[in-house]
Structure 1
Amino acid sequence: MAAVMRQFLTYLRIECGLAANTLLAYEHDLKRLFEYAASRGVTSPGEIDALLLIEHGRWLHEQGLAGRSIGRHLSVMRVFCRFLTANGIVEEDPSELLESPRMWKRLPSVMHVKHVETLLASLDAGERLYLRDRALIELMYASGTRASEVCGIGEEDLFEDLRMVKVTGKGNHQRLVPVGVQAMRAIDDYRRELRPKLAREDRPTEALMLTRRGTAMDRIDVWNVVRKHSRQAGLKDVHPHTLRHSFATHLLAGGADLRVVQELLGHAKVTTTQIYTHVDHARLQSVIKKYHPRA
């Protein structure tokens, strides 16, 4: 199993050009499939059949996975089975009978504008990394960047005169995103006063956001920063993607064009961006329900 998985991941990386994070997701899902297969006595990829895949999907549902997560697992299984068929490991594609679970839309969590202000106001100016944390949160809310994207922003990706930042997203697709005055001011304060103190001569890096050790921040570092300060602010269920969701929803609520927001978020399909219009509609419905006398 392990050897075939390595071949499959190499195929995805070289032939399909999938990004590192996507490859990690594929590997994670395949390992779960292989573990389930082993529990059913299946130890060779050639023994994988439709019944095993269907039972695995049912098992994922029993584990409490959301429909979207199960759908991703099934997509990985389909691609893997096509790979097995193309390489003669199985004669017929066992995934042909698979049906995706109904992909209900789960509305993303969004912060109210005043909660964003509360989060920023909760930062302690006396902390050593205050300037970095403020610049990080301001930038993510101002640009709608993913955690992995903000980690990939380098010094050379900032265009201060234009108030723009170059972001490299999924599939190494690049986009230019405008950054507001307050976020750019926070970034400038961080770059001028703190980043030179964090940077190390023996481990130089062009990354904009640095850890206290002088290395480039990763997604876990970003997650920990947002979680730490949101808890201090008394806010629940706030994570890096919440800032991205809030960025998009607040723009649309303010009248921004859907296609513009799609471009800013780096979405390949506008249907992905449309979920944020439903968030705003849900907010409006709650207002009507609360205040209309016959709601």
Structure 2
Amino acid sequence: MMKFEDYKKEFLLFLELERGYSEQTINTYKRGIDRYLLFIKKKKINYLKIDKDLILDFQASVSESMGSRTFSRILSTLRTFYKFLHNEGAIDDVVLNQVKSYPSPKYKKSIPTFLSEKQILQVLEKINNDKKLSDIVKLRNQSIIMLFFTSGLRLEELKSIQLKDIDFSKNTIRVIGKGSKTRLANFDSDTKDFLIRYLKFLKKYPLIKTNFNNNLFVDEKNKNLSRHNIQYLVMKNLKTLTLNSYGPHALRHSFATHLLNSGVGLGAIKSLLGHENLASTQIYTHVSLGKLQETIKKSHPRGEK
């Protein structure tokens, strides 16, 4: 019988080579598998012969340290892992069905945070008035905020943009999304202006082939910004507002919600966000409904009654 660690290595390699998952996604799977490994080692369980009772025991053992959403994600990881083991001939149908049929815990899906255009302008002004920042850092940070807001990019997508991916003549950026799928993201003329002024400071505009493989967003030493760098600067600037969440995803959510409130169909928004299925996009209908109800309250003669 192969050791758990050996199957884990093969499984993670399978996710990379066969599924084409990003490093971030693979690390998420790895964390879930490692948490499960601690449990089976402590309980001295044969991981090839688990059932629903053992999964319930695992859920109970981690319930105090993680919420239902996190456990649901780990459970999804285990289903994929055990399906991999089944395909490798390591487990039979009975064990696989025990894992697949274990019910996911229910949790309340949060409605995405929605920023108005006025709030975005406040953030841009805050950055511009920050005397601790150099002019180039101000333009870089403003470009990042605007690109998230007008393109709906994910954090990893924005971090990975290279100069060769940008087409200023069409206001588009080629991005590689989840599952290594490529799509074109659009940005508006204001974002274009921020980006060009930022690149001129870097002396990288007009774009030339010798710079094509350079990352778009760099620090003052010309080193690529990390996920943490970008996450931190976005959260720092959004925290001046009253919001439910402050990360880059709040800006991505705002992009989608503005489109929906302007009459853009869910199918088109799904494509622009790089969602694989419509269910991921439908959460924005809740935001739009809330906006509609607010409008009725303010505008309809019976709205406040």
Q: TM-score, normalised by structure 2?
A: 0.84
Q: CA offset at residue 29 of structure 1? A: 0.7
Residue matched to 2:172: 164
CA distance in 1, matches of 2:112, 2:65: 22
Post-superposition offset of 1:243: 0.4
**Residue 53 of structure 1, CA deviation:** 1.5
Residue 76 of structure 1: how far off its partner (Å)? 0.9
Conserved in 2, the CA contact under 8 Å of 1:131 and 1:194? no
State whether residues 163 and 184 of structure 1, in contact with CA within 8 Å, keep that contact through their aligned partners in structure 2.
yes
What is the alpha-carbon distance in structure 2 between the residues aligned to residue 157 and residue 289 of structure 1? Answer: 45
Cα displacement (A) at 1:62? 3.9
Residue number among 7, 27, 47 corresponding to 1:4 in the alignment: 7
1:122 corresponds to 2:100: no
Map Cα deviations across residues 204-237 of structure 1 (whole Å, 9 max, x no partner).
Answer: 9511111223122221111011012223x34453
The runs of 5 or more residues in structure 1 that have no matched partner are: 197-202
Q: How far did residue 33 of structure 1 move?
A: 0.9
1:187 aligns to 2:188 (yes or no): no
2:255 to 247, 250, 254: 247
| Secondary structure in 1 matching 2:128 | coil
Whole-angstrom CA distance in 2 between matches of 1:204 and 1:265: 25
Q: Which among 134, 141, 160 is matched to residue 133 of structure 1? A: 141
Which residue identity does 1:165 align to in structure 2?
I
Pair 1:151-2:159 in alignment: yes
- Please list the CA deviations of residues 36-89 of structure 1 after superposition, one character each: whole Å capped at 9, or x if unmatched: 2223233x533544322222234444434133x332211111111222233343
1:22 aligns with 2:30: no
CA distance in 1, matches of 2:185, 2:251: 15
Q: 1:152 to 1:28 in 2, by over 3 A?
A: same
Q: Does the 8 Å contact 2:256/2:269 carry over to 1?
A: yes
- The percentage of counterpart residues that share the same residue type is 27
Shift of 1:286: 4.5
**SS of 1:238's equivalent?**
coil
Aligned with residue 56 of structure 1, among 49, 58, 72 = 58
Aligned-pair Cα RMSD in Å: 2.5
| CA distance in structure 2 between the aligned counterparts of 1:204 and 1:260, rounded to whole angstroms | 30
The separation in 1 between residues aligned to 2:296 and 2:266, in whole angstroms, is 24
| TM-score, normalised by the number of residues in structure 1 | 0.87
Deviation string 1:229-277 (CA, Å, 9 cap, x unpaired) is 223x344531111000001001111222222211111111122111111
2:207 matched to which residue of 1?
Answer: none
* Contact kept in structure 1, 2:21 and 2:180, CA below 8 Å: no
Q: Given the alignment of the two structures, is residue 213 of structure 1 paired with residue 221 of structure 2, yes or no? A: yes
Establish whether residue 282 from structure 1 lines up as the match of residue 290 from structure 2. yes
Write the distance in 2 (CA, Å) between the matches of 1:215 and 1:45. Answer: 44
Unaligned runs of 5+ residues in structure 2 are 205-210
AA of the residue aligned to 2:118: K
Alpha-carbon separation, structure 1, partners of 2:49 and 2:81 = 14
